Amino acid sequence: MTTQAVRLFRRMDGLFAVYKPQGVHWKLVRDTIESNLLKELNSCPPPAPQLAVKFQLLSSGANNGSKDLILSPSMLPSLADHPLVTGPQFHKVHVGVGHRLDAFSSGVLVLGVGKGNGVLEHLCRSHVTRDYTLEGEFGRATNDFSHTTRVIEKTTYDHVTQDKLEKVLAMIQGANQKALITYSQMDLRTQEAYELAVKGLLYPHGKSPPILTGLRCIHFNPPHFTLEVQCVNETQKYLRKLIHEVGLELRTSAVCSGVRRTRDGPFKAENALTRQHWTADRIIQAIAHFRKTTRKIRKSGMHGQTAGQLNSSTRNQEQIRSQIGQSDQISQEHVELSSPTSDRIVDRVTPGTG
Amino acid sequence: MHLCRRCVSVLLSRPLLSAALQPSTHTLHQRSHHILLQHSRVQPAIHSLTQRHSRETWTPCGRRNLTDHQAASPDVYNNKTDLAEGEVEKHIVPFENLNVHQISNQESLSDIGLDAVVRPSPLQEISEEEAVQIQVPSALPPDSFTLKPYVDKSETLSKLVQLGVNLWELEQRPNVGSMLVRLDFHADVAPKLLFLKDLGVEESKLGTLLTKNPFILTESLDNLEARVSYLKAKKFSPQSVAVMVSKAPYLLNFSIERLDNRLGFFQKQLGLSAEKTRNVVTRLPKLLCGSLEPIKENLKVCELEFGFRGNEIQHIVTAVPKLLIANKRKLTQIFDFVHNTMDVPHSLIAKFPQVFNAKFLRIKERHLFLEYLGRAQYQPSQPNYISLDRLVFLPDDIFCSEVALATLEDFERFQKTL
């Protein structure tokens, strides 16, 4: 006979996404969520206490006037099962964190509860791309690449225009594309490699340094500018360093004033829970929402294949390539692979023979 | 010989330890708790019923105990306070177990070195006086990890549970469990509870009070009465004394000199009248319990870093006494944001000191939302003025509808762009 608490606990199994606010350590987020889940579980009524036979001194029946006290047995609940003596029913809920976000950044943070932690492992090992929005500011350079730490140098930025910025971004993008192909560990002279490259399915296999699969400027208002990045295997410090390097290439200096993750694999910001909604019922709803995605990750993980996250990245790649007008082997009639919502995980064929 | 003594003691101790560790349906987590404790090599909190006896005082009952592993003899108290010890000895036992049986059959008791006690047979008839003198062994284990085996049997513990004291929390603290088990209800606990009731503390609050401070039961009644009379001499009304004791359970454990010292400090430092000091202390009696150094630091921070004048500090402290014991770093963060980013002058912050009570993230998100909408107006002289307390203390939906004039979904979407 399962109690209400146990039934609620069994529903807490799966993955969901949370929007981490800026300035908060990810561990605090994880602890807050765990304590909220525990609070809800422990507020369920505890199981009924066991009954024990106790002898009590009761006065004998009312008919005789003598006040004889006799020992009479009765079944009373045992105090050893009282909730103040046994303590809370649940002490721990396993909440795991996916790709971590440092305190300076904000954005989508994937968490796994209960059995979802195993699936989290698959997600981390698979090569899903992540979407970031980087805000930069020209004119300053700091030791930490962020806008709050000590300023090392100040420069002018009047000479910077949008097309210069685009050129620099294209150059960085080209270098990253090359790295993408190098780390895909495929022999480029085969037909298979060509077909995968046509579809845009060339992905780094195994360990690789941070690679940007997509990079473009969405807002330019000197000294402020905003970049959108899709990357694989990155850290937030690398992205801040990227802003600094963009500044260096433009013969000025730049600091990063914000790193925001808008997508982590199939988990997007629209469905991430904000701070007010970190309660057990909303979390269970979010887990139910992501159930299909979780199942797909688990299946793809079990097949031992790497899953590549696509559509938006391929589209951006095409845009940038057409912008610079690079001649390449990839034909212009690219195959539209997945739905525009781009939260599907496409299984990739392992290059066994290649 | 030494070997056999150890074996005997282990054989006798085994039923005791198993009684203590009886898993019930709800102690599975406690089981793992024990295992974790063992692995972490921390001395687990063991609640022992009696004082420690040295090994030599146990009286084994001859050969019989070596062969039958029945219920423990009442006179033997094995105070192995280290379960790890018992485990180690259990591993050593199996080899000697067989030997012991053989030895006991072959050697005489005097060779083993045990005191030979001649036990009468159970079928022998005894007189009435002897029958009355038989001591029934109590089934209580001499030590255990939790208070569960003792709760039903001990009057103190069952009355405390009925009052609402959280015994589970208390048994996590070292030595508190043993102390509670050894208390006598009528001698120790009842007078203190009556005293607290006379003081005016509500019965519903007694449970939480005792959970936070079980040591009020071990403090002597004279001391408690002296401290209460001191507070009343300082012109605290009886109701305020009751409120102070329920809010700060450790208050009556402090000596009169310490309370006097603290009250004097507050009156001098803050420069408030006696009436106002009494008001502040009644609302936050924790001020009298903690150390004075952090309070001095907070006051210095307000004066030097923030730049508040003396009378402003007085006003803020009387409105929000929590400022004195709040975290210095969080205070600085909030002040920095409100003064430098939101451009609110000192006088206005002194008028609404409740901002220091709020969470920093809340202030930040709401201010940025208002700025995005173009409604961030904090000067009282300008139109569309938004006061700081409305900014901070309204719940989200009312804030969105009345102050920001937007929907809750808009606010959430904006939060995801920060």
From the CA atom positions of chain B, what is the Rg in Å? 32
Beta bridge partners of A347: A307
- Judge: A269–B29 Cβ closer than 8 Å, yes or no: no
Of A250, A116, A269, A285, residue with least CA distance to A171: A250
- Judge: B417–A260 Cβ closer than 8 Å, yes or no: yes
- Judge: B148–A272 Cβ closer than 8 Å, yes or no: no
Q: Is position A102 annotated as part of the catalytic site?
A: yes
Among A19, A24, A276, beta carbon nearest to B396? A276
* pLDDT tens digits for range A68-102: 677 788 888 888 888 888 889 899 999 999 999 99
Among A23, A85, A276, beta carbon nearest to B151? A85
* pLDDT tens digits for range B88-111: 344 443 444 444 444 444 445 555
For B166, the closest chain A residue by CA position comes to A84
CB B264 within 8 A of CB B305: no
Chain A residues 67-96 with a CB less than 8 Å from chain B: 78-82, 84-89, 91
- Judge: B416–A275 Cβ closer than 8 Å, yes or no: no
Res. A314: pLDDT tops 60? no
Among B152, B161, B361, beta carbon nearest to A84? B161
Main-chain dihedrals φ then ψ at residue B118, nearest 5 degrees = -85, 120
Tell me which DSSP letter residue A134 carries: E
Tell me which DSSP letter residue A49 carries: P
Q: Burial of A238 by CB count in 10 Å (0-12 exposed, 13-18 middle, 19+ buried)?
A: middle
Q: Give the number of other CB atoms < 10 A from CB of residue B362.
A: 15
Interface test with B, best of A86, A106, A147, A275 (most B CBs within 10 A): A86
For B147, the closest chain A residue by CA position comes to A85
Res. B259: pLDDT tops 60? yes
Among A19, A85, A274, beta carbon nearest to B168? A85
Confidence at residue A75, expressed as pLDDT on a 0 to 100 scale: 86
- For residues A27-41, give the mean pLDDT: 94
- Judge: A272–B416 Cβ closer than 8 Å, yes or no: yes
CB B314 within 8 A of CB B302: no
Question: A22 to chain B: which residues are within 8 Å by CB?
Answer: 418
- pLDDT confidence tier of residue B84, bands split at 50, 70 and 90: very low
Q: Assign 3-class secondary structure to chain B.
A: CHHHHHHHHHHHHHHHHHHHCCCCCCCHHHHHHHHHHHHHCCCCCCEECCCCCCHHHCCCCCHHHHHCCCCCCCCCCCCCCCHHHHHHHHHHHHHHHHHHHHHHHHCCHHHHCCCCCCCCCCCCCCCHHHHHHCCCCCCCCCEECCCHHHHCCCHHHHHHHHHCCCHHHHHHCCCHHHHHHHCCHHHHHHHHHHHHHHHCCCHHHHHHHHHHCHHHHCCCHHHHHHHHHHHHHCCCCHHHHHHHHHHCCCHHHCCHHHHHHHHHHHHHHHCCCHHHHHHHHHHCHHHHCCCCHHHHHHHHHHHHHHCCCHHHHHHHHHHCHHHHCCCHHHHHHHHHHHHHHCCCCHHHHHHCHHHHHCCHHHHHHHHHHHHHHCCCCCCCCCCCCCCHHHHHHCCHHHHHHHHHCCCHHHHHHHHCCC
Among A13, A68, A81, A102, the active-site one is A102
Interface test with A, best of B145, B165, B362, B416 (most A CBs within 10 A): B416
* pLDDT tens digits for range B214-242: 999 998 999 999 999 999 999 999 999 99
Res. B23: pLDDT tops 50? no
Confidence at residue A253, expressed as pLDDT on a 0 to 100 scale: 92
**Whole-complex ipTM:** 0.79
- Judge: B161–A85 Cβ closer than 8 Å, yes or no: yes
Distance from CA of A35 to the nearest CA of B (A): 17
Lowest-confidence segment of A68-77, A205-214, B310-319 by average pLDDT: A68-77
For A263, the closest chain B residue by CA position comes to B416
Among A21, A84, A106, beta carbon nearest to B165? A84
Confidence at residue B146, expressed as pLDDT on a 0 to 100 scale: 87
- For residues B28-42, give the mean pLDDT: 44
- The secondary structure element, H or E, covering residue A225 is strand A224-232
Indicate whether this model's pTM tops 0.80.
no
Of A128, A139, A73, A135, residue with least CA distance to A106: A135
Res. A290: pLDDT tops 90? yes
Res. A335: pLDDT tops 80? no
Q: Please list, residue by residue across A245-270, b when 16 or more beta carbons sit within 10 angstroms of its beta carbon and e when fewer do.
A: ebbebbebbbbbbbbbbbbbbbbbbe
- pLDDT confidence tier of residue A121, bands split at 50, 70 and 90: confident
Confidence at residue B49, expressed as pLDDT on a 0 to 100 scale: 58
Confidence at residue B117, expressed as pLDDT on a 0 to 100 scale: 66
- The secondary structure element, H or E, covering residue A145 is none
Q: Give me chain A's average pLDDT, please.
A: 81
Question: A101 to chain B: which residues are within 8 Å by CB?
Answer: none
- Judge: A84–B149 Cβ closer than 8 Å, yes or no: no
Q: What is the largest CA-CA distance in chain B?
A: 105
- Judge: B168–A79 Cβ closer than 8 Å, yes or no: no
Amino acid letter, B384: N
Distance from CA of B187 to the nearest CA of A (A): 22
- For residues A254-269, give the mean pLDDT: 92
Q: Does A21 touch chain B (CB under 8 A)?
A: yes
